[in-house]
Amino acid sequence: MSATLDQIFVLIKQWIVSFLPVAWQPVAGILLCVAAIVSVFPGLFAFTVLLERKGLGRMQNRIGPNRVGPFGIFQPIADGIKSLTKEDIVPYSADGVVHFLAPVVLVVAVFLGFAVLPMGRNMVLVDVDASLLFYFAIGASTELSVFMAGWSSRNKYSLLGAMRAVAQMISYEVPLLMSSVAIVMMTGSLSLVKIVEVQNHYSGIFPHWFIFTPWGFVGFVLYAVAATAETNRSPFDLPEGESELVAGYFTEYSGFKFALFFLGEYLAMFSISGLGATLFLGGWSAPFSFLTWIPSWVWFFGKVMTSIFVFIWMRGTLPRLRQDQLMNFAWKFVLPLTMINLFDAAIWRFLGEGWLRWVICSTILLIAYIGMGRIGMSRKHFGPRSYRYAE
């Protein structure tokens, strides 16, 4: 029973495909998977927007949306209808073609990332050899769409927002990649399916997830920081800082194109959380060996939604960084620590089994963290803030 439930989507797909002639079956199967991805994640997006507005409201001591339906649960539907029926305004001086293409490129690129994520046992759209590389290659091309949006709007705020966004995304892409390289070193494979399989073993009741090793834990924290910056979420949401830039690179977008940017941003959050879960949190594997009867896709989506909740929580808690703080943090703290973490993973690999590697690897990382933090802080001079231009 639990095996059937575990594979229910795969079985449904095979059942639907079996009605078609044999020649069409592979293509139909792929189309069905694509349709599932394209419908499930926007549905999850609608739910997440509601969750975010309600959750943020709770954290800020207010009620949040409560007018549409019981407890406001139909708010996303109302928002969707509103953005569909709104007038689509393109500024007079905007560059029409690029202005139109930017949200399309963003959403397409973000959707492509889902193709390689294993969302459950046997539930991956394309199982290529180098799926991790594919994911990062596709992720890198979203920067271009952000630039296209900012530049084509012919608006100072848009262009400034786009410049900030691109600079931030390039800076944090390096630690994002480097923290995942440690995983590749340990598994010896770039295939996400294989990375999950390696973690899907248990000692006693505890799983072999990479987060339960010193280098994996540090790697996960660094990955989470870089992923937050990569998706332009608070506290790294400078590119769309309302108090400074109106809405950043999508200031001049309205109607459904704005909704597409919104969708792209949330989909990027889902996919980067999914990748983080796959790399460090064991993907679709259960957290305890006696819980393996629960379907694998429940675990994957559970882990993704937990990460989303942490994203929302951070947004409700932390203030926004300043541009120079953002850059200093990326290049002077996060990046060196990922390098040290990479060395640490190598040491872990060659020390072999035993308690010795736990002590040595944890000590190295602890010393690096404290030492770099101390050195970084000792250069700072706290005092009245000096304004260079605003006085």
Partner 1 sequence: MSFAFYLISAISVAGGLAAVLLKNTVHCALALTVVFAGLALLFLQLDAQFAGFAQILVYIGAVAILVVFAILLTKGSETPKDGVFSKTWLAGLAVAAAVFAVFGWTVLQSGAVLPHQTATPQVTVAQIGTALMGRYVLPLEIVALLLTAALIGAVIIAMHEKPENNEEEVAK
Could you tell me the smallest distance in angstroms from the CB atom of residue 187 to partner 1?
Answer: 11
Neighbours of 274 (CB within 10 A): 25
Q: How far is CA 197 from the centre of its chain?
A: 21
Find residue 206's DSSP bridge partners. Answer: 203
Q: Smallest gap, in angstroms, from Cβ of residue 255 to partner 1?
A: 24
CB closer to partner 1 out of 75 and 179: 179
CA separation, residue 84 to residues 106, 156, 248, 260 (Å) = 18, 27, 22, 10
Q: State the nearest-atom distance from the C-beta of 151 to partner 1, in Å.
A: 6
Cβ–Cβ < 8 Å for 151, 111: no
Hey, what are 49's tokens?
């927007």
| Cis peptide leading into residue 235 (ω within 30°) | yes
Q: Which residues contact 133 (CB under 8 A, 6 or more apart)?
A: 190
Q: Which is nearer to partner 1, 211 or 330 (CB)?
A: 330
Nearer to partner 1, 110 or 281 (CB): 110
CA dist 59 and 309 (Å) reads 12
Q: Which is nearer to partner 1, 119 or 326 (CB)?
A: 326
Shortest CB 297 distance to partner 1, Å: 27
Least separation, in Å, of the C-beta of 114 and partner 1? 16
User: Residue 57 or 91: which CB sits closer to partner 1?
Assistant: 91
Q: Whole-number minimum distance, CB 170 to partner 1, in Å?
A: 7
129 secondary structure, DSSP code: T
Contacts for 193 with CB less than 8 Å, ≥ 6 apart? 118, 124, 127, 131
**Cα(109)–Cα(257) distance, rounded to whole angstroms?**
15
Q: Which is nearer to partner 1, 111 or 297 (CB)?
A: 111
Taking the least distance from each CB to partner 1, the nearer of 45 and 134 is 134
Q: Minimum CB separation from partner 1 for residue 45, in Å?
A: 25
Sign of CA dihedral 18, 21, 25, 29: negative
Least separation in angstroms between CB 171 and partner 1: 12
Residues in contact with partner 1 by CB under 8 A are 95, 98, 128-130, 133-134, 136-141, 143-144, 147-148, 151, 159, 163, 166, 170, 173, 188-190, 324, 327-328, 380-381, 386, 388
Q: Report the nearest approach of partner 1 to the CB of residue 272 (Å).
A: 15
Q: For partner 1, give the closer residue by CB, 128 or 305.
A: 128
Beta bridge partners of 202: 207
CB closer to partner 1, 67 vs 388: 388
Residue 148's closest CA among 138, 139, 159? 159
Work out the angle between the directed axes of helices 296-317 and 25-59 (0-180°, nearest 10): 30
Burial-class residue 185 by CB neighbours within 10 Å (0-12, 13-18, 19+): middle
- The dihedral over CA atoms of 183, 184, 190, 193, expressed in degrees to the nearest 10, equals -40
Q: In the complex with partner 1, which residue's Cβ is closer, 7 or 171?
A: 171
What are the residue ranges of helices labelled H in 188-254? 192-199, 214-230, 242-245
Handedness of CA 294, 298, 304, 306 (dihedral sign): negative
Question: What is the signed CA dihedral for 331, 336, 341, 343, rounded to 10 degrees?
Answer: 140
CB of 210 to partner 1, least distance (A): 20
